[in-house]
């Protein structure tokens, strides 16, 4: 009996980001709806064919989306936010306006899909009445069959994950109503000849899946199973090992998908300890769907053999650990990477080849795998990965400064800032002109000196603007950076930028995470030139602007041959060297941004403490070597921090700025019970919207914060950097902000 293989999801964006371009063209009105559907269909079908040709037996359908698969699922079941319900519920326009907002309606929130950098649209359940608007999956299943000759494996976000990730009071009620609708969808797929249906339930790997949750799950899956005949249900988990393995394998489904790559071997331990039901299929995630490195297939074979001790080969399906939407499409088109790095890469297409090769080997159709491992072993043995100088004993580096109170005094003496000092978070508008200049420079059509001159011109312009506005602490504006992590990825050693390694972040927005391929170290200053140029233009303090070690780690593709903590430690020393370079050159305030601090947080509560400890230590190692009078700032955004105040405090930064206004000030309440004594700026206006807030609104935000924080510690700043705003808007809003601060200052 042959072992089979499967894939869980394929990147929608296309090799050349065709998908993104199509979406944006449609939004701009350059395509009719008909053209849009047809062009999307071409992409969709080509992805199916590609997977089949790569040798995948169970090709996923329904994973393709025009925006987000969670939104697809919500809309399919009529979970449409109240404010959009006066529109045609099955129209493309409604779909996109839920995701992106429309003239008079705000978009639904979006948030991170588990611990990935993919963002889904949060379904809003309140006031909805679930109903099947149309069986999208059936349509896609038929399309694959009729037009590509592929009997696909329909993939759908499961009811427990869908409701758990939604917002609203009536989750339980909605869940009950959803169950018969899932049955209906599956039933129709069964009639059309679906062999397997994959139900994605990653919620089972989180702490949400406690005993009570599993009990509820059992009932729901019993109902679903009862409604079906011959079609088989595959309950798919990923990203880590399920919390309740024993209960999970007793659910009434035909197969279970488990991640055997992450969570340091936990899944295999559970398999050994508790076994696996004889009548069930195990879809084993044995190729890492999250990283970009070639698998060491000889090791993978050993893993598969261990699994085979517990599961018969006719009941084993080999697959990636999760959907491949989290990795770029193909490593084949990389042009700028060191050849040793390039030959160790495996993006989505290469991962499918690995799956096929592994399956053939296990089925005795391929004799050896040793050639495959060569790329990765060559990189492992090379100098790139083995800079002995950076394998320092990290504990030799100080992580503590003198007390915050002593620092505060020294800093006040040095800077004499007014109460409620005003500042910004770092970046100023990246106009078309700025982008064009950077692009020309990268392509080599703008010389070093012309480019420097251009950047310096922008810095000067904005130093003047900031002085005129009357801001107290200035920034240089970050015009030289496309992205806060990419910029450091280009300059630090041991990291590289790919030419085409895009992954979807949200909607049509794609990001290109740097690759940490080797030992990371600092060779020469990254930010000194621009910062010093700015500081020389003004008597006011200019903050040096750095990306912190935790954020660089969490927003990069990281080598997987050493623990992440080891990479983090190397990054912390590289940033420490940058901090020292700035201080030595006379920069008195240095901001080390950590917007992604929360992102690495493990799902399981028991693992969180260790992560936070390592992260805090790394940040402190980066920043602790400066003199007491040097002021360390940090900044955080993108997520909720209410439950992290202790860790934030532990960073021991002199001043922290946190995005606040989008969560409608919820964060402020945390300071009612937690006494935070260092400098803090809770963003007083939202920078994600072009809307210019009024003075009253900003004063209200400041005063609300001052109810729980001291005027002597509070800073007035926007929520985040202003790179996405227009120049006029940015100046206008800052003008109001400075005025609001002055008014509050008089009252304070
Ligand atoms: N300093 C960065 C900026 O202003 C911070 C960006 C971020 O927090 N994501 O753009
Ligand atoms: Zn931010």
DSSP 98-142: HHH-BTTBPPPPEEE-TTSS-EEEPPB-TT--------HHHHHHH
Half-sphere exposure of 663 (CA within 13 A, CB side): 19
Give the number of the atom of ligand 1 that is nearest the alpha carbon of residue 591: 1
Cβ-in-10-Å burial (0-12, 13-18, 19+) of 510 comes to middle
Q: Is 635 annotated as a binding residue?
A: yes
Location of structure tokens 């690995």? 354
Residue 470 has pLDDT above 90, yes or no: yes
User: Ligand 2 centroid vs 145 CA: distance in angstroms?
Assistant: 46
Residue 391 has pLDDT above 80, yes or no: no
pLDDT for residue 642? 85
pLDDT for residue 392? 65
Location of structure tokens 């069964």? 190
Look over the chain and give the mean of its residue pLDDT values, rounded to a whole number. Answer: 95
Contacts of 596 (CB under 8 A, 6+ apart): 550, 551, 554, 555, 638
User: Ligand 2 centroid vs 703 CA: distance in angstroms?
Assistant: 22
Helix (H) or strand (E) holding 401: none
What are 194's two structure tokens? 């679906």
688 alpha carbon, closest ligand: 2
CA angle 51, 53, 59 (to 5 degrees): 35
Residue 516 has pLDDT above 70, yes or no: yes
Q: Model's pTM, two decimal places?
A: 0.94
Residue 347 has pLDDT above 80, yes or no: yes
- Sequence-distant contacts of 429-434: CB under 8 A, at least 24 apart: 429/722, 429/723, 429/724, 429/725, 429/726, 429/727, 429/730, 430/479, 430/723, 430/724, 431/726, 431/727, 434/458, 434/479
In tens, the pLDDT along 472-505 reads 999 999 999 999 999 999 999 999 999 999 999 9
Give the number of the atom of ligand 1 that is nearest the alpha carbon of residue 721: 4
Q: How far is CA 677 from the centre of its chain?
A: 31
Q: Is 15 annotated as a binding residue?
A: no
pLDDT for residue 689? 80
SS3 496: strand
Outline where 598-726 has alpha helix (H): 605-623, 645-650, 666-673, 695-706
Cβ-in-10-Å burial (0-12, 13-18, 19+) of 542 comes to buried
| Calpha distance 485→487 (Å, rounded) | 5
Q: Which residues pair with 658 in a beta bridge?
A: 636, 682
SS3 368: coil
SS3 483: coil
User: Ligand 1 centroid vs 635 CA: distance in angstroms?
Assistant: 8
Q: Is 147 annotated as a binding residue?
A: no
| Calpha distance 389→346 (Å, rounded) | 29
Contacts of 451 (CB under 8 A, 6+ apart): 437, 438, 440, 441
Q: Which residues of 243-267 are buried (b: 16+ CB within 10 A; e: fewer)?
A: bbbebbbebebbbbbbbbbbbeebb
In tens, the pLDDT along 258-281 reads 999 998 899 999 999 999 999 999
Determine which residue's CA is closest to atom 6 belonging to ligand 1: 721
- Eight-state DSSP code of residue 516: E
- Eight-state DSSP code of residue 382: S
pLDDT for residue 263? 86
| Calpha distance 498→651 (Å, rounded) | 32
Half-sphere exposure of 247 (CA within 13 A, CB side): 17
pLDDT for residue 523? 95
Please report, rounded to a whole number, the percentage of residues in the chain having pLDDT higher than 90. 88
SS (H, E, C) 560-590: CCCCHHHHHHHHHHHHHHHHHHHHHCCCCEE
| Calpha distance 548→227 (Å, rounded) | 52
Which value, in Å, is the radius of gyration of the alpha carbons in the chain? 27
Determine which residue's CA is closest to atom 5 belonging to ligand 1: 721
SS3 153: strand
> Using a 6 Å CB cutoff, which residues line ligand 1?
425-427, 478, 484, 545, 593, 595, 635, 637, 720-721, 723
Taking the CA atoms of 392, 394, 395 and 400 in sequence, report the sign of the dihedral they define: positive
What are 17's two structure tokens? 């980001």
CB of 261 within 8 A of CB of 285?
yes
Q: Following DSSP, what letter does each residue of 46-105 receive, concatenated?
A: HHHHHHHHTT-SB-EES---SS-HHHHHHHHTT---GGGTTS-TTSHHHHHHHHH-BTTB
In tens, the pLDDT along 685-704 reads 988 888 899 999 999 999 99
The interaxial angle of helices 266-274 and 297-308, nearest 10 deg, is 20
CB count, 10 Å around CB of 748?
16
pLDDT for residue 602? 87
User: Ligand 1 centroid vs 426 CA: distance in angstroms?
Assistant: 6
| Calpha distance 290→296 (Å, rounded) | 15
In tens, the pLDDT along 34-87 reads 999 999 999 999 999 999 999 999 999 999 999 999 999 999 999 999 999 998
590 alpha carbon, closest ligand: 1
Residue 225 has pLDDT above 90, yes or no: yes
Determine which residue's CA is closest to atom 9 belonging to ligand 1: 595
What are 476's two structure tokens? 């240089």
Q: Is 174 annotated as a binding residue?
A: no
Q: Average pLDDT of 189-217?
A: 96
In tens, the pLDDT along 591-639 reads 999 999 988 888 888 889 999 999 999 999 999 999 999 999 999 987 7
Determine which residue's CA is closest to atom 3 belonging to ligand 1: 721
Question: What's the ipTM?
Answer: 0.99
| Calpha distance 35→344 (Å, rounded) | 39
Half-sphere exposure of 471 (CA within 13 A, CB side): 28
Our CA dihedral for 474, 480, 485, 491, rounded to 10 degrees, sits at: -120
What are 710's two structure tokens? 């001291």
Residue 388 has pLDDT above 80, yes or no: no
Q: In angstroms, what CA-CA distances link 373 with 48, 340, 635?
A: 28, 13, 42
- Mutate which of 112, 424, 426 for ligand 1? The one with the most ligand atoms within 8 Å of its CB, which is 426
pLDDT for residue 662? 64
In tens, the pLDDT along 292-305 reads 999 999 999 999 99
What are 62's two structure tokens? 């329904």
Q: Is 688 a catalytic residue?
A: yes
pLDDT for residue 640? 77
723 closest CA partner among 505, 459, 478: 478
């Amino acid at each position: 009996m042959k072992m089979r293989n499967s894939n869980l999801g394929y990147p929608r964006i296309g090799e050349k980001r065709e998908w993104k371009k199509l979406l944006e063209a449609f939004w701009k009105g350059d395509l009719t709806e008909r053209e849009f559907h047809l062009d999307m269909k071409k992409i969709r079908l080509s992805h199916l064919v590609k997977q089949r040709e790569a040798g995948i037996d169970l090709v996923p359908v329904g994973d393709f989306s025009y925006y987000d698969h969670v939104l697809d699922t919500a809309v399919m079941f009529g979970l449409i936010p109240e404010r959009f319900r006066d529109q045609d519920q099955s129209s493309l326009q409604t779909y996109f306006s839920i995701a992106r907002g429309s003239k008079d309606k705000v978009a639904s929130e979006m948030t991170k899909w588990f611990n990935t950098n993919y963002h889904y649209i949060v379904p809003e359940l309140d006031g909805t009445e679930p109903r099947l608007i149309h069986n999208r999956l059936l349509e896609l299943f038929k399309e694959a069959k009729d037009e590509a000759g592929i009997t696909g494996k329909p993939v759908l976000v499961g009811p427990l994950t869908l409701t758990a990730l939604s917002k609203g009071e009536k989750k339980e009620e909605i869940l009950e109503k959803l169950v018969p609708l899932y049955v209906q969808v599956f039933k129709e797929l069964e009639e059309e000849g679906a062999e397997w249906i994959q139900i994605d339930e990653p919620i089972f790997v989180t702490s949400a899946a406690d005993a009570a949750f599993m009990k509820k799950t059992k009932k729901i899956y019993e109902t679903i199973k009862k409604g079906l005949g011959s079609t088989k249900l595959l309950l798919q988990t990923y990203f880590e090992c399920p919390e309740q393995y024993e209960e999970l394998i007793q659910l009434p489904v035909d197969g279970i998908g488990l991640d055997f790559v992450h969570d340091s071997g936990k899944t295999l331990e559970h398999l050994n300890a508790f076994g696996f039901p004889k009548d069930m299929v195990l879809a084993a995630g044995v190729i890492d769907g999250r990283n970009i490195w070639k698998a060491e297939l000889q090791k993978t074979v050993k893993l598969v053999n261990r699994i085979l001790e517990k599961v018969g080969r006719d009941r084993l399906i080999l697959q990636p650990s999760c959907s491949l939407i989290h990795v770029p499409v193909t490593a084949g088109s990389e042009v700028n990477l060191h050849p040793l790095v390039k030959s160790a890469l495996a993006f989505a297409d290469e991962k499918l080849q690995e799956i096929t090769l592994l399956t053939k080997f296990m089925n005795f159709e391929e004799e050896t795998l040793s050639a495959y491992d060569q790329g990765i072993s060559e990189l492992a043995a090379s100098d790139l990965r083995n800079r002995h100088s950076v394998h320092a004993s990290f504990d030799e580096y100080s992580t503590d400064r003198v007390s915050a109170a002593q620092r505060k005094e020294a800093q006040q003496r040095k800077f004499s800032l007014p109460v409620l000092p005003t500042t910004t978070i770092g970046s100023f508008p990246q106009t078309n002109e700025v982008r064009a200049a950077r692009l020309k420079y990268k392509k080599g059509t703008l010389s070093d000196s012309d480019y420097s001159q251009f950047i310096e011109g922008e810095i000067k312009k904005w130093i003047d603007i900031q002085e005129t506005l009357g801001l107290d602490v200035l920034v240089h504006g970050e015009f030289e950076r496309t992205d806060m992590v990419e910029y450091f990825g280009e300059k630090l050693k041991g990291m590289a930028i790919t030419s085409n390694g895009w992954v979807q972040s949200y909607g049509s927005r794609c990001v290109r995470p740097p690759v940490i391929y080797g030992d990371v170290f600092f060779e020469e200053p990254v930010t000194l030139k621009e910062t010093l140029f700015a500081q020389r233009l003004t008597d006011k303090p200019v903050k040096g602007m750095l990306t912190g070690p935790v954020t660089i780690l969490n927003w990069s593709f990281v080598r997987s041959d050493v623990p992440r903590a080891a990479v983090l430690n190397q990054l912390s020393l590289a940033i420490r060297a940058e901090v020292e370079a700035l201080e030595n050159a006379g920069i008195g305030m240095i901001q080390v941004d950590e917007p992604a601090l929360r992102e690495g947080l493990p799902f399981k509560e028991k693992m969180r403490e260790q992560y936070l400890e390592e992260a805090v230590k790394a940040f402190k190692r980066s920043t602790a070597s400066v003199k007491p009078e040097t002021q360390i700032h940090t900044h955080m955004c993108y997520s909720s921090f209410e439950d992290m105040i202790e860790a934030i405090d532990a960073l021991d930064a002199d001043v922290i700025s946190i995005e606040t206004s989008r969560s409608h000030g919820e964060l402020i309440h945390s300071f009612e019970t937690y006494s935070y004594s260092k400098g803090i700026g809770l963003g007083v206006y939202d920078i994600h919207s072009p809307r210019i807030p009024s003075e009253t609104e900003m004063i209200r935000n400041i005063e609300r914060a001052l109810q729980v924080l001291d005027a002597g510690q509070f800073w007035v700043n926007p929520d985040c950097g202003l790179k996405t705003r227009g120049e006029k808007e940015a100046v206008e809003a800052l003008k109001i902000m400075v005025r609001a601060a002055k008014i509050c200052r008089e009252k304070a």
